[in-house]
């Protein structure tokens, strides 16, 4: 434990240039949480913070790669779909160089004979692919087949294996056969296949392979020496081995056509350099292009919230005076999250080689500057409109029972209790109505009264009135 504590202290203090509330305020809680989750574990997590005062790292646990290393800011992880942020930035760089045009149809950069789907004459442009409103689907056809064939949850290994096996030829075949269900540019639709297509088009337009483009145009100028697909022998020694939810080791898969959608490897140190450039804390010609990727283009896309190019805010609470956005990614038993507050020039990186303690809620909590509690790091704080209760339908009684009361909500302030049964919402009895229908009865516009008929655990009945309003789910 002494050696681990020493590494933590070294990481925490080594790169601070001045005192910073953002870098310092949650330090003890972060250390305690990492030790709680990763002591006696075969996995670990590293957290990196950056603002105008400097950087700070917290690392704990093991890379489980056959060495006696501890997880730190130089441990290499798969970043998964965070790769998409790099792909969109490469497009803007190619446009600035005059190699491509944002509004060019993607078919312009594909071989003759490859058909790209259209919708009533509207073609898919490079911009559509970068902001993910092309109308192309989220999943590969092989993934969609897995989802429809299996009655229960799809085994993640099968999902990753299908993605790794997807070739450029298969991409062309998919495009030629697919029919769009919506007009490009109208609605956000997260699309792994769309981002893979964008990266492929950029590589063809520049006559340079995707990995070389990432290294030469983004990583080398920013000093990101560990971000790439192909590792040196020295880098392989620092690569963390991922673990599935059950703790077993995950297999590594090297993507082919899907590389631009989720194949990059990186370190927390490299990603903080990337975020520093995004925030303008590091002087670089890439910063103006990066700021273009932060512009929100679509609202209300569940579960992504407001979406940019291809950053998003996940629908999380945006504190007054802040502008938070981020991106998550998953590899073979690894998970990554990066987040920015562009208004206050702060950034967060979270990387881990396990799938239980999820980085996204950790990252959102830190960038929101919310208390680093178990509740917040399990479920990111959101601002929602409602009365503030969680419900379930009991079997076989069919009771509509309160299972959660949010403290800062109308229900919390009134003192409603878990275990109370709701028998009627306004003038509608809830008997024989399913849970989604009951939730619809409770939902609606802010500042509207909702009358609830209640029965407590002792059987006493009462009627209360609540007013829907915005509240924080945690805090």
Q: Is the model more confident about 331 or about 56?
A: 56
Q: What integer pLDDT is reported at residue 139 of this predicted model? A: 77
Model confidence pLDDT, tens digit, residues 274-294 = 999 999 999 999 999 999 999
CA distance 197 to 111: 13
How would residue 19 be classed by pLDDT, with cut points 50, 70 and 90? low
Model confidence pLDDT, tens digit, residues 244-264 = 888 889 888 888 999 999 999
Model confidence pLDDT, tens digit, residues 148-165 = 655 444 466 666 677 778
Judged against a pLDDT cut of 50, whether residue 9 lies above it is answered with no
Judged against a pLDDT cut of 50, whether residue 13 lies above it is answered with no
Judged against a pLDDT cut of 50, whether residue 222 lies above it is answered with yes
How would residue 208 be classed by pLDDT, with cut points 50, 70 and 90? very high
Judged against a pLDDT cut of 50, whether residue 205 lies above it is answered with yes
Residue the block writes with tokens 């009945």 = 461
Average pLDDT, the chain: 92
Instruction: Tell me the H-state helices in 409-460.
Output: 410-414, 435-442
The CATH code for residues 383-472 is 2.30.42.10
Q: What integer pLDDT is reported at residue 11 of this predicted model? A: 46
Q: What integer pLDDT is reported at residue 146 of this predicted model? A: 53
How many percent of the chain have pLDDT more than 70? 91
Judged against a pLDDT cut of 70, whether residue 36 lies above it is answered with yes
Model confidence pLDDT, tens digit, residues 183-202 = 999 999 999 999 999 999 99
Model confidence pLDDT, tens digit, residues 131-152 = 999 999 987 765 556 556 554 4
Q: What integer pLDDT is reported at residue 147 of this predicted model? A: 53
Q: What integer pLDDT is reported at residue 5 of this predicted model? A: 34
Helix (H) or strand (E) segment spanning residue 400: strand 400-405
- 338-345: average pLDDT: 98
Q: Which two tokens stand for residue 376?
A: 């917040």
Do 262 and 191 touch, CB atoms closer than 8 A?
Answer: no
Rg (CA), the chain: 24
Residue the block writes with tokens 């092989």 = 142
Model confidence pLDDT, tens digit, residues 361-407 = 999 999 999 999 998 999 999 998 999 999 999 888 899 999 999 99
Which regions of 144-274 does DSSP assign to beta strands (E)?
265-266
Geometric angle at alpha carbon 417, from 416 and 422, rounded to 5°: 75
Q: What integer pLDDT is reported at residue 151 of this predicted model? A: 47
How would residue 411 be classed by pLDDT, with cut points 50, 70 and 90? very high
Please list the residue range(s) of the chain that carry CATH number 2.30.42.10: 383-472
Q: What are phi and psi of 182, to 5 degrees?
A: -150, 160
The CATH code for residues 78-378 is 3.40.710.10
Q: What integer pLDDT is reported at residue 172 of this predicted model? A: 96
Q: What integer pLDDT is reported at residue 325 of this predicted model? A: 98
Geometric angle at alpha carbon 363, from 238 and 308, rounded to 5°: 105
How would residue 475 be classed by pLDDT, with cut points 50, 70 and 90? low
Q: Which two tokens stand for residue 155?
A: 């085994």
- Find, among 141, 158, 177, 355, the residue nearest to 257 by Cα: 141
Judged against a pLDDT cut of 90, whether residue 322 lies above it is answered with yes
Lowest mean pLDDT segment, chosen from 92-96, 138-142, 211-215, 428-432 = 138-142
Model confidence pLDDT, tens digit, residues 100-116 = 999 999 999 999 999 99
Q: What integer pLDDT is reported at residue 162 of this predicted model? A: 72
Please list the residue range(s) of the chain that carry CATH number 3.40.710.10: 78-378
Q: What integer pLDDT is reported at residue 251 of this predicted model? A: 85
- Neighbouring-strand partners of residue 393: 400
Judged against a pLDDT cut of 80, whether residue 175 lies above it is answered with yes
Judged against a pLDDT cut of 60, whether residue 122 lies above it is answered with yes
């Amino acid at each position: 434990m002494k050696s681990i504590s020493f590494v933590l202290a070294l990481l925490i203090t080594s790169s601070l240039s001045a005192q910073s509330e953002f870098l310092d305020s949650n330090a003890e809680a972060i250390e305690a949480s990492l030790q709680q989750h990763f002591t006696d574990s075969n996995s670990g997590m590293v957290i990196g913070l950056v603002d105008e005062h400097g950087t700070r790292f917290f690392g704990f646990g093991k890379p489980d790669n056959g060495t006696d290393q501890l997880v730190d800011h130089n441990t290499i992880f798969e970043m998964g779909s965070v790769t998409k942020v790099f792909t969109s930035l490469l497009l803007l760089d190619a446009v600035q160089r005059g190699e491509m045009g944002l509004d060019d149809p993607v078919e312009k950069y594909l071989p003759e004979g490859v058909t790209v789907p259209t919708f009533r004459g509207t073609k898919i442009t490079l911009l559509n692919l970068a902001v993910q409103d092309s109308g192309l689907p989220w999943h590969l056809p092989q993934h969609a087949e897995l989802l429809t064939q299996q009655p229960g949850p799809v085994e993640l290994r099968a999902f990753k294996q299908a993605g790794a096996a997807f070739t450029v030829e298969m991409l062309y075949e998919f495009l030629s056969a697919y029919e769009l269900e919506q007009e490009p540019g109208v609605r956000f639709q997260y699309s792994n296949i769309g981002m893979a297509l964008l990266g492929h088009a950029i590589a063809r337009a520049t006559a340079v392979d995707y990995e070389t483009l990432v290294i030469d145009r983004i990583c080398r100028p920013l000093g990101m020496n560990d971000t790439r697909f192909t590792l040196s022998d020295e880098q392989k020694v620092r690569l963390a081995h991922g673990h599935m939810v059950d703790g077993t080791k995950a297999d590594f898969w090297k993507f082919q056509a899907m590389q631009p959608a989720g194949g990059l490897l990186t370190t927390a140190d490299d990603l903080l350099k990337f975020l520093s450039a995004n925030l303008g804390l590091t002087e670089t010609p890439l910063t103006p292009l990066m700021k273009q990727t932060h512009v929100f283009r679509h609202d209300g896309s569940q579960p992504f919230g407001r979406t940019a190019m291809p950053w998003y805010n996940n629908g999380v609470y945006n504190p007054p005076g802040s502008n938070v956005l981020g991106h998550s990614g998953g590899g073979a038993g690894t998970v990554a999250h990066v987040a920015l507050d562009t208004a206050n020039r702060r950034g967060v990186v979270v990387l881990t080689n396990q799938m239980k303690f999820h980085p996204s809620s950790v990252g959102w909590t830190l960038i929101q500057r919310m208390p680093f509690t178990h509740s917040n790091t399990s479920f990111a704080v959101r601002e929602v409109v409602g009365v503030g209760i969680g419900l379930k339908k009991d079997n076989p009684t069919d009771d509509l029972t309160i299972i959660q009361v949010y403290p800062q909500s109308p229900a919390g302030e009134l003192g409603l209790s878990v275990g109370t049964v709701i028998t009627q919402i306004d003038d509608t009895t809830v008997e024989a109505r399913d849970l989604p229908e009951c939730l619809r009865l409770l939902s609606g516009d802010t500042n509207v009264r909702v009358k609830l008929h209640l029965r407590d655990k002792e059987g006493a009945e009462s009627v209360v009135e609540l007013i829907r309003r915005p509240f924080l789910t945690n805090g």
